[in-house]
Amino acid sequence: MTGSYHMIEYIREGPEVLRRTLEENEASIQSLVEEARRRDIQRLVVSGVGSSYTAAVMAAPLLRYHCSLPTHILPSTGHAYYASRLIDEHSLVVVVSRSGERDWVVNALKDAVERGAYGVAMTGVADSLLAQQGEMTLLTQEGPEITFPKTKSVVTCAGLLMRLGLALARPDDVEASQRLKALKAAPGSMKRVLEKAEPEIRELMPSLIGHKNVVVGGAGSNYGVALETAVKLQETAYVPTQADDLGNVFHGPLGPLNADWLIIPLLTELDLRLGKQLLQLAGKFGAHRMSVVEPKLDVEGLTETLIRLPERADPLLAALLYLPPMQLMTYYWTIARGMNPDEPSVMRDMLDAMLPAGREEPELRGG
């Protein structure tokens, strides 16, 4: 039954399409960096909406740590609030959209170029409206994605933005060179995560799907994973979900917790102390706890459900390893509710609201 849906196939393809995206964009990344230096670029602005925005948030810690340019991550819908201050001839503006067809992203890139910025489209569709607006296109290599909820394209966009951040590092940044090796090895690590996590998620699903509300918290790049999990659980399984930075979960979401709630902290070694405090409180209030953790992190007795990664994640690349279990959870939760994960019932209404008149999602053209 589950094999009839595209979404699970695309989740499993994530490691390979990330590898292909990194390899096939390497020359373009180097050309982009050379052009940025020629133009005396002094700031980086990354813009997107929906899952493209959450992909940018996953890459944000690495961009801020390694990129030699001050970096701003903005929703494209808020472009007008900041354009007069942040966007001029000294700005590199990268607008991210898998389809490249949303009005908001297209208009953001068009405005940036008109203001003199070096405008770059990051998209999976070479003939999209977004690609037509950019002075350069970084083409992600996930191939067709015949689903409304995107999964493999989130992986490629996050990974390619991370690669851009490392390329824009200072020449003497030794850590950037080391982290580039880790990024190139990430597809293999992701594959091992998927192989371990998928049977575990399937087995755990009966204990999860009865919960009416979900809270997901993550720090660093996992903050973006938390946001993306909330997007996907709500647009496919229709489960009300809150997402926040791990520390901010203490301020607000803990208040209404009870047995109807599922709380999911995404924990690295850096987060362990904070995560334990959160799990203790959540247990006190009666919520079901599902922890996603690195190997050897001790959370025994503090969580009813545990997904343990098979290997440790680089702190600034962690999203690439924590995202696959969350994608799998979303898929199997939707299936368990008897819903179609490829085509949520609200899909048509949402596309009509987001697309320009006369335009269609790439895979739905002519359908």
- Tell me the percentage of the chain whose pLDDT exceeds 90: 87
| CA 103 – CA 288 distance, rounded (Å) | 40
In 3D space, the residue among 24, 9, 249, 30 whose CA is nearest the CA of residue 156 turns out to be 24
In 3D space, the residue among 86, 170, 157 whose CA is nearest the CA of residue 319 turns out to be 157
The secondary structure element, H or E, covering residue 365 is: none
Mean pLDDT of 1-13: 83
Residue where the block lists tokens 């599922």: 262
| CA 140 – CA 156 distance, rounded (Å) | 6
Residue 61: the pLDDT is 98
Residue 102: the pLDDT is 84
| CA 106 – CA 223 distance, rounded (Å) | 26
The answer to whether residues 25 and 139 touch, using CB atoms and an 8 Å cutoff, is yes
Model pTM score? 0.93
Question: pLDDT, tens digit, for every residue of 251-293?
Answer: 888 889 999 999 999 999 999 999 999 999 999 999 999 999 9
Structural domains of the chain sorted by starting position, each given as residue range(s) with its CATH number in brackets = 2-172 (3.40.50.10490), 187-336 (3.40.50.10490)
Residue 367: the pLDDT is 39
pLDDT at 351 over 80: no
Residue 361: the pLDDT is 61
Average model confidence (pLDDT) for the chain? Answer: 93
Residue 2: the pLDDT is 44
Residue 293: the pLDDT is 98
- pLDDT category of residue 366 using cuts at 50, 70 and 90: very low
